[in-house]
Structure 1
Amino acid sequence: MGQETSEKIARLEREIDELKKENERLRRLLEEALRSAKRQAAPFSRRGPKAHPQKPGRKAGCQYGRRCRRPIPRSVDEVIDVPLPGECPHCGGGVQEEGIVSQYQTEIPEPRVERIEFRIQVGRCRRCRRRVQGRHPRQTSDALGSAASQLGPRALALATQLNKGLGLPYGKTAAVLEEAFGLRVSRGGLCQAVARVAHKGEPTYQALIEQIRGSPSVTPDETGWRVGGQLWWMWAFSTSQVTVYAIQPGRGFEQAAMVLGANFAGFLVRDGWSVYRQFLQALHQTCLAHLLRRCREMILVAGKREAVFPRTIQAILQEALRLRDRREKGQMSNRGVAVARGRLEARLDRGLQPRYRSPRNRRLANHLLRERDALFTFLNCPGLEATNWRAEQAIRPMVVTRKVWGGNRTSKGAHAQGVLVSILQTCRQQLRSAS
């Protein structure tokens, strides 16, 4: 009897373990399904349209909606008089003039390819006997012979903007140049020309890296990127005025330090990726948006008791953001914020003391213990962001480009990609023209 009972208990324990594993597997699948349902690039839907869909676009207001109109141009290049018709188009009667009103039309000038011949003088040095040739400021290359026909600076600037700034593949970039301007160029020729533009932009790129290293606050992020079919990483380091991209073969501290510098001592507003914590001289602020999203996802799949811990963390983080907002509105002094921060930290410490049985709660608690000193840095530093939103925005155009044409074929092309998109994005931030 005792042996049968022992065997039954052992069998039931095995079944319980199997059910726990199955339950955990199903919970993970549910979490993945919930995350995929909220992705920006949702899969194609085969369902029919909604009966009463929500109206697209923004609500009407002083800057958007019905009140928005194209402004009247400050200067006019051409005036065209439009006379009345000889008879009424409705009944055929005579027409009497009552006044003149103006309508304005903004048009693109008819494109025309400009072909320039540079008659270059070639000579030889009397001292060293080396070959010397002239160079005009409008030339983009010193090539002669079979490579004497080159694209001009405006054509190169437009091609670079289309390919790197807007994410068009080389084939479509060539199609735009031909259809809009009658300029025929091959994809291979464009690729080589854009690589030369990146080479000339290298000093500017290095200057941007130095600005990032000397910035008081930097927001980094990274996303996957394909180079020759292999997984590399697109890094983005952003400030209010500068953004630097770097495509690296890894996602570790070495790659991040190549741009940021191993001894970076400013504020680092980042997500929870452990590599960023290796910048020991930096002052850290972890992204609260990531933590709040994680809490929401846990609450959706957790039971009543299991959801208590993520709800507690969610309330603490939301209270921290409310303190920031009250200070920015002038409703709270810095001293009041400091006192309230101490209370939030005490609440957080009490919430992290228990030993949680749920694996998800244990993982969240361990993560918060590691990030404990980086949770509320923004409350001590007015103006410091509480999320890595800036870097997420910098990464987003690269994600769109990745969806359009996948990545780069070579490491040289990847470096050119990083150089040019860094310059273009920085120009956008500073409201400057890249051309």
Structure 2
Amino acid sequence: MSILDDVALLKEQVAALLHRVAKLEAQVAERDARISELEAELERVRRQGYKPQSNRKPPAGSEKQDRRKKPFRQHPGVFRDPPKLDDISPDQVECHEVVIDSCPCCGSRRIKPTGRFDDHLVTDIPEPKPVYHRYRRLEYQCQDGGKTSQGRAELELPGSHLRPRARLLNLYCRAHLGISLGKSCDLLSPWSGIPLSRAGALGHLAWGGKLFAPVVTDLLDLLRQQNLIHADETGWRINGKNVWAWCFSNPQIAIYLIRHSRSGAVIREALGDSLPGVLVTDFYAAYNAMEATKQRCLVHLLRELHSLRQKVPAICVKRIIEPLITLFQDAIALGKRREELSPKAYTQQIDAISDRFGELATTISTNTHVKRILKRLRTYADELFTFLDHPHIPPDNTPAERDIRSVAATRADGGVNRTDWGATAFANIKSIVQRCHKQGRQFLQYGLELISAVQAGQPTPLPLSQNTS
């Protein structure tokens, strides 16, 4: 190849490179113009008062921001109020005087006090120090019969080396915190200075189950008379065998039962054959035997309808599934707007919901999943919109799910039971703890009141809030 050919080839390569450079320059110019347009649009929006929010942390080196005043926070922070010295008894305060012997800035030891000071008040728990109670039981002899006898002090438990406060703490750890008996012993020893064995903790569980059993019976009788009851169940185990933990609750009461059966017999045992109020449940068939006005959980139904969108053909989703989802969402929204509408307008809205439901429930489909869900809707047609006629009835069973969620957490962390009596004791204690929380009562305080009443032979009091008659 001659020199002229090399020169011609080199010129072609240079021309191709120049063409590529020109093309890249055109693209850069076009992008610069687009960036300028977006910057101008952003500036215009900012002038109108819009401030973009971001969840990103401020860049490194920027001005440090107060975490409580970040502009992207959507809700105000919640902080614990500092303790006030005026609200504290003087014998509860330990004073510490903080002094320095040199300047922290330059290290000079030529410093003198100014007479000014700041008080920093903090709260702590006291160092574990068990308190021993000695009961000197004086002996008396009857001058008529000649027999001798001794009395018993208040809160003195016969044959026990622990007062009720320590026992109730152990029960609280097992039933509410959901930790095992072994862990509750590990907690009690370093934080109270009282050593406790697992066998001793098991004895406390048996004692607490018997102590609270009459109260649970009274609360169950009270629950049956309420105008609203939620019911739910979850799995449990006794000695390695599958059983069921039931929860029957409302905003004031929560009763737990652990039974080997998941049939309607447990429901009748707990609530009787009929109820004066409304029973809110999921679509489990065992609740069908109960004679009561019922509200089936629409949240369960909506979850299943959402899952069916991935299982059925698109035509079924468009014609049946999506209209059903919209229908139940509109019904829930209507229940929330009850007070905003006049009685006549509200009744008209209910009639419109019923008409839409009737059209959808009678739709014919050949898909197996759609046929199943339509059959369920027709079966429970009278139990889906009860909440629209009763203002105090919610459209879902979420309260019962919340009450029983802690039982599921205990099953995972604190373990289950090895005996039937242990399961019954756990359920009784759990019922009382939950009742106290719903009433704003301290479980420890109520437990001590109950023990005093039992020792005095008085009727067992129910855990009620201080402002409840």
Does the alignment pair 1:335 with 2:341? no
Which residue is equivalent to 1:274?
A: 285
Which residue is equivalent to 1:29?
A: none
Q: 1:307 to 1:122 in 2, by over 3 A?
A: farther
CA-CA distance at 1:324 after TM superposition: 1.4
Q: Alignment partner for residue 106 of structure 2, among 76, 86, 91?
A: 91
Task: Give yes or no for contact 1:337–1:379 (8 Å, CA) kept in 2.
Answer: no
Which residue is equivalent to 1:112?
A: 129
TM-score (norm 2): 0.74
Q: Which string of whole-angstrom CA distances, capped at 9 and with x for unpartnered residues, describes residues 215-270 of structure 1?
A: 11001101111112111111101111111101111111110121112121211111
CA-CA distance at 1:83 after TM superposition: 4.9
Q: Alignment partner for residue 310 of structure 1, among 312, 315, 321?
A: 321
Task: Give yes or no for contact 1:338–1:379 (8 Å, CA) kept in 2.
Answer: no
Which residue is equivalent to 1:31?
A: none
CA-CA distance at 1:121 after TM superposition: 4.8
Which residue is equivalent to 1:14?
A: none
Which residue is equivalent to 1:80?
A: 95
CA-CA distance at 1:335 after TM superposition: 3.0
Which residue is equivalent to 1:354?
A: 363
Which residue is equivalent to 2:236?
A: 225
- Map 1:170-189 to 2 at 5 A: 170-189=181-200
Q: 1:126 to 1:248 in 2, by over 3 A?
A: farther
Q: Secondary structure of 1:201's match?
A: helix
Which residue is equivalent to 2:435?
A: 426
Q: Secondary structure of 2:130's match?
A: coil
Q: 1:129 to 1:285 in 2, by over 3 A?
A: farther
Q: Which string of whole-angstrom CA distances, capped at 9 and with x for unpartnered residues, describes residues 43-98 of structure 1?
A: xxxxxxxxx9999x998466525xx3433333263263535423302213344627
Q: 1:110 to 1:292 in 2, by over 3 A?
A: same
- Structure 1: 5+ residue runs without aligned partners? 1-51, 144-148
Q: Secondary structure of 1:72's match?
A: coil
Quick one: distance in 2 between partners of 1:326 and 1:303? 34
Task: Give yes or no for contact 1:121–1:133 (8 Å, CA) kept in 2.
Answer: yes
Q: Which string of whole-angstrom CA distances, capped at 9 and with x for unpartnered residues, describes residues 123-180 of structure 1?
A: 788899988542221212x23xxxxx52211100110111111011011111111121
CA-CA distance at 1:188 after TM superposition: 1.1
Q: Alignment partner for residue 202 of structure 2, among 191, 194, 202?
A: 191
Q: Secondary structure of 1:220's match?
A: strand
- Counterpart amino acid of 2:189? E
CA-CA distance at 1:311 after TM superposition: 1.2
- Map 1:23-422 to 2 at 5 A: 60=73, 63-64=76-77, 68-73=79-84, 74-75=87-88, 77-78=92-93, 80=95, 82-93=97-108, 94-95=110-111, 97=114, 99-121=116-138, 133-140=150-157, 142-143=158-159, 149-280=160-291, 282-308=292-318, 309-327=320-338, 330-422=339-431
CA-CA distance at 1:204 after TM superposition: 1.2
Quick one: distance in 2 between partners of 1:307 and 1:291? 15
Task: Give yes or no for contact 1:236–1:243 (8 Å, CA) kept in 2.
Answer: yes
Quick one: distance in 1 between partners of 2:237 and 2:165? 30
Q: Secondary structure of 2:392's match?
A: coil
Q: Secondary structure of 2:314's match?
A: coil
Quick one: distance in 2 between partners of 1:127 and 1:222? 59
- Counterpart amino acid of 2:88? S
Task: Give yes or no for contact 2:83–2:123 (8 Å, CA) kept in 1.
Answer: no
Quick one: distance in 1 between partners of 2:427 and 2:147? 36
Q: Which string of whole-angstrom CA distances, capped at 9 and with x for unpartnered residues, describes residues 395-430 of structure 1?
A: 100000001133111110111011000000010111
Task: Give yes or no for contact 1:243–1:394 (8 Å, CA) kept in 2.
Answer: yes
Q: 1:355 to 1:326 in 2, by over 3 A?
A: same
- Counterpart amino acid of 1:261? G
Quick one: distance in 1 between partners of 2:143 and 2:217? 38
CA-CA distance at 1:101 after TM superposition: 1.9
Quick one: distance in 1 between partners of 2:306 and 2:226? 34
Q: Secondary structure of 2:337's match?
A: helix
Q: 1:298 to 1:91 in 2, by over 3 A?
A: same
Q: 1:387 to 1:124 in 2, by over 3 A?
A: farther
Which residue is equivalent to 1:9?
A: none
- Structure 2: 5+ residue runs without aligned partners? 1-53, 58-67, 445-469
Q: 1:255 to 1:382 in 2, by over 3 A?
A: same
Answer with 414-423 or 95-104: which moved more: 95-104
Task: Give yes or no for contact 2:236–2:245 (8 Å, CA) kept in 1.
Answer: yes
Q: Which string of whole-angstrom CA distances, capped at 9 and with x for unpartnered residues, describes residues 370-394 of structure 1?
A: 1100111111111211100100000
Task: Give yes or no for contact 2:229–2:248 (8 Å, CA) kept in 1.
Answer: yes
Q: 1:274 to 1:335 in 2, by over 3 A?
A: farther
Question: Which structure's CA Rg is the greater one?
Answer: 2
Q: Secondary structure of 1:196's match?
A: helix
TM-score (norm 1): 0.79
Q: 1:211 to 1:63 in 2, by over 3 A?
A: farther
- Counterpart amino acid of 1:357? T
- Counterpart amino acid of 2:271? L
- Identity across aligned pairs (percent)? 27
RMSD: 2.6
Q: Which string of whole-angstrom CA distances, capped at 9 and with x for unpartnered residues, describes residues 286-327 of structure 1?
A: 101001101100012322012132212111100101111222
Task: Give yes or no for contact 1:124–1:132 (8 Å, CA) kept in 2.
Answer: yes
Quick one: distance in 2 between partners of 1:150 and 1:221? 39
Which residue is equivalent to 1:28?
A: none
